[in-house]
Amino acid sequence: MSEAQAAETVWEPSPNDLESFWMPFTPNRDFKQAPRLISRAKDMHYYAADGRAIMDGTAGLWCSNAGHCRGPIVEAIQRQAAELDFAPNFQFGHPKAFELASRLTTLAPGDLNYAFFCNSGSEAADTALKIALAYHNVTGAGSRTRLIGRERGYHGVGFGGISVGGIAPNRKFFGTALAGADHLRHTYDREHQAYSRGEPEWGAHLADDLERLVALHDASTIAAVIVEPMAGSTGVLAPPKGYLKRLREICDRHGILLVFDEVITAFGRLGHAFAAERYGVLPDIITFAKGVTGGTIPLGGVLVRDHIYQAFMNGPEHAIELFHGYTYTGHPVAAAAGVATLDLYRDEGLFERALALEEMWADAAHALRGEPHVADIRTIGLVAGIDLEPVEGKPGQRGYQAMKTAFHDHDTMIRITADTIALSPPLIIGEDKIGQLFDATRRVLRALD
């Protein structure tokens, strides 16, 4: 190769090249042999590259709560991109970020009156953990450095999130992550909770595991506990009745901050703006992402209560109070998408709709009991988890097969975590489409080896 050739910039890749994109959380080699390509979407449906309508049984990745390509959100994004594409929120500001913050804090329960923005659920989890640590620092409790998560928890893929997360493959390749993290035991016990509708009756006492960790580490070393009110990514685990209240009480007793990771549960998934409302439990910090823009533009954030924000509002007025933030914190286009999405949720009553459909949804899901390979079914809000018996010696294979078959042969997008199918459709779904979704799932189950 001559020097001139070596220096040449190549702009045009070969057409249809699937090789270069290293896909996330995907078996790349298998995907690239038989790709599941989506080319457009509208309302409840994706459209595959070959033109087939694919029912969206998962709201994308738990995010497209208002359905796809909704006019008012698309228009708000277009308008904002044309008017103000970017402005920094470090030392400057723009109206949409402030507007979205006040909309969210108005919607949030209690005195969760302050919003900090980032771009994803992972960043939201790390932001929440950093604020918790810094809060103790600025209030003179700097020995509180320990962060407690829960087995089977998912808080994204940042180093903070994987430290408190409790899904083994998300952790085991990445060293020790943050020192000093510990975990509550998870809340699932098939013997006591199989085929649960809503919150399982059994298991409130599992919150007492926090007392065990307090006894081990001493409360004076613990900054915060972070849990998903409903654990989604691990395969849909609703909190046992009374569990979250008990966790709140124990945190209060020991001066530990309670963080609800509501990246999945916020914005209607459990029939309320936030799961905190469903459970009547006020955490100190809520993380959110996904549904805040209906998945249209990346946006995440945390909501914090008055005492957290106010603890930082000390020192000289010219000095930065929190050394944290992202270039795209409160990005104008994302903020505009957020405001338009909240409008749509309100105008179409989508949170109430999810609540009204919950019983019917649960009936349809639990009707799959007894179908081939089904080992447990759990429903809550507009979410269903269906555990499949694993193929002996090959964990995850049956689930993977189910997802592929659903897409290629039954025109349906379902989500899997190992051998658990998780369904969580856009909240615009109606009774007929719920029927179609579970019919397709039934056919998938019957088609599996």
Ligand X SMILES: Cc1ncc(COP(=O)(O)O)c(C=O)c1O
Binding site for ligand X (CB under 6 A): 62, 120-122, 125, 154-156, 228, 232-233, 261, 263-264, 289
Strand 181-184 to strand 146-150: parallel, antiparallel, or no bridges (unpaired)? parallel
CB closer to ligand X out of 261 and 284: 261
235: left (phi over 0), alpha (psi -120 to 50) or beta: left
CB closer to ligand X out of 113 and 120: 120
User: Taking the complex as a whole, how short is the minimal distance between the CB of residue 86 and ligand X, in angstroms?
Assistant: 20
67 backbone dihedrals φ, ψ, rounded to 5°: 85, 180
User: Taking the complex as a whole, how short is the minimal distance between the CB of residue 265 and ligand X, in angstroms?
Assistant: 8
Taking alpha carbons only, the member of 53, 45, 56, 233 closest to residue 153 is 233
CB closer to ligand X out of 65 and 120: 120
CB closer to ligand X out of 247 and 364: 247
Taking alpha carbons only, the member of 161, 126, 96 closest to residue 341 is 96
Which residue spans within 139-298 are E strands per DSSP? 146-150, 181-184, 222-227, 257-261, 285-288
- Token pair listed for 256: 């530990």
Residue nearest to ligand X (CB): 121
User: Taking the complex as a whole, how short is the minimal distance between the CB of residue 61 and ligand X, in angstroms?
Assistant: 6
CA distance 359 to 278: 15
| Sheet with 181-184, side-by-side order of all strands | 114-118, 300-304, 285-288, 257-261, 222-227, 146-150, 181-184
User: Taking the complex as a whole, how short is the minimal distance between the CB of residue 232 and ligand X, in angstroms?
Assistant: 5
CB closer to ligand X out of 121 and 385: 121
| Burial class of residue 109, CB neighbours in 10 A (0-12, 13-18, 19+) | middle
User: Taking the complex as a whole, how short is the minimal distance between the CB of residue 236 and ligand X, in angstroms?
Assistant: 11
CB closer to ligand X out of 62 and 243: 62
Q: H-type helices in 281-414, by residue range?
A: 306-312, 332-347, 350-366, 397-410
CB closer to ligand X out of 67 and 166: 166
User: Taking the complex as a whole, how short is the minimal distance between the CB of residue 1 and ligand X, in angstroms?
Assistant: 41
User: Taking the complex as a whole, how short is the minimal distance between the CB of residue 127 and ligand X, in angstroms?
Assistant: 11
